[in-house]
Amino acid sequence: MTGPRYTRLVQSLPATVPFVGPETQERERGRPFAARLGANENGFGPSPRAIAAMAAAAGEVWKYGDSVSYDLRVALAARHGCTPEHIVVGEGIDGLLGYLVRLLIEPGDAVVTSDGAYPTFNYHVAGFGGVLHKVPYLNDHEDPDALLAMAEKTGAKLIYLANPDNPMGTAHPRAVIASMIERLPEGALLVLDEAYVELAPDGIEAEIAPDDPRVIRMRTFSKAHGMAGARVGYAIGARPLIQSFDKIRNHFGMCRISQAGALAAIEDRTWQAYMRLLVDGARKRIAEIARENGLTPIPSATNFVAVDCGRDGAFARAVLRELTAADVFVRMPFVAPQDRCIRISCGPDAELDLLAAALPGALARAAKG
């Protein structure tokens, strides 16, 4: 009796999950977290209008969702000053990254990213046989010059850059992104991940013509809109590239309930403005808690704050373990020297109070260990 005959590529890959979710950790620990501050979720939640729209749509969940997400794309196009043909909607940025890599990367093709940047992108590249070439961060920022130099050297098809960045929360001004685009090597596509840009200060969001064939921009409803569990992402790009997604995407991958919630969320401008205030307040509170404990918060343009623990990665991992033992879920960057930090998501005051109470003891125990 034989089993499945896996491809040689799949046989060469490890069985891995880029992020171990808090639910998995809770099952392993045998109890829930008291504060969920590690997954860059928006703990303040979605617009009440989005919640109402999703509740209303639940009664029609027997229907498939609109296979082209037409109403949502029309609303997004109006927001971004483009046409619906410039936008594709998919199962979060993660899903769209997978489709993009499938469209463009064959075994052996070069792809450039930063060492320690968003690992799910790397996961997709490996899954389609691409060859990752990584450059280090520079002063806790992704380094556009180094990314471009590596792309020129390797003939990369894709260059990945998140602005604002995950996991450090730092951001480049829009002029830096504009300069990077003008210097892209011929044939390279910039994958500009803007998951957090709605929460960034003015001057960060890039100004890019929708038909520019050198760039594809990734956006999400998971962060500023507080809908991570709904899995709604979208990409903005030149029409020929966006149309190509129809060749390989899951045409009924978008849940009808999620589509309704996202449409209501983007129309609720008041909640979006309120959310910016809430996140800004939480960033300031996290920074204050860090400084009270002798730690250094890194200025953030996202809904999380990377906190420099002042020593090496081993110490930061010890702090993370101690916070986990105290029922506070946080995460940390994976690669040195950024792994000297822990990464704390913005959330309601009650959860930040638990962080403030747990952090001094966690630091003390980590130092003894």
* CATH code of the domain containing 276: 3.90.1150.10
Q: What is the pTM of this model?
A: 0.96
Is 188 inside a domain boundary?
yes
Q: Are 291 and 253 part of one and the same domain? A: no
Q: Are 275 and 263 part of one and the same domain? A: no
Which residues does the chain have with pLDDT short of 70?
none
Is 4 inside a domain boundary?
no
pLDDT of residue 16: 80
Complete edge-to-edge strand list for the sheet that includes strand 110-114: 87-90, 233-237, 215-220, 189-193, 158-162, 110-114, 131-135
Q: Are 260 and 275 part of one and the same domain? A: no
Q: Are 243 and 293 part of one and the same domain? A: no
Q: Are 220 and 233 part of one and the same domain? A: yes
Lookup result for tokens 């390279």: 188
First to last CA, the chain: 52
Is 14 inside a domain boundary?
no
pLDDT of residue 142: 98
Is 15 inside a domain boundary?
no
DSSP-derived 3-state class of residue 226: coil
The answer to whether 111 and 131 have CB atoms below 8 angstroms apart is yes
Domain finish residue from 233, 267, 301: 267
Its domain, for residue 192, covers 48-267
Q: Are 335 and 213 part of one and the same domain? A: no
Domain finish residue from 247, 267, 287: 267
Is 13 inside a domain boundary?
no
Radius of gyration of the chain (CA): 21
Q: What is the CATH number of the domain that holds 205?
A: 3.40.640.10
> Domain total for the chain?
2
Q: Are 216 and 281 part of one and the same domain? A: no
* Cis preceding linkage at 144, omega within 30: no
pLDDT of residue 44: 97
pLDDT of residue 233: 98
Is 122 inside a domain boundary?
yes
Domain finish residue from 236, 267, 298: 267
Q: Are 74 and 137 part of one and the same domain? A: yes
Q: Are 41 and 52 part of one and the same domain? A: no
Is 114 inside a domain boundary?
yes
Identity of the amino acid at 215: V
Q: Are 118 and 234 part of one and the same domain? A: yes
Identity of the amino acid at 335: V
Query: Closest by alpha carbon to 217, among 229, 232, 233?
Result: 233
Using one digit for the tens of pLDDT, what is the confidence trace for 325-349? 999 999 999 999 999 999 999 999 9
Query: Closest by alpha carbon to 157, among 115, 107, 93, 105?
Result: 105
Q: Are 194 and 296 part of one and the same domain? A: no
Q: Are 284 and 176 part of one and the same domain? A: no
pLDDT of residue 2: 84
Is 7 inside a domain boundary?
no
pLDDT of residue 228: 97
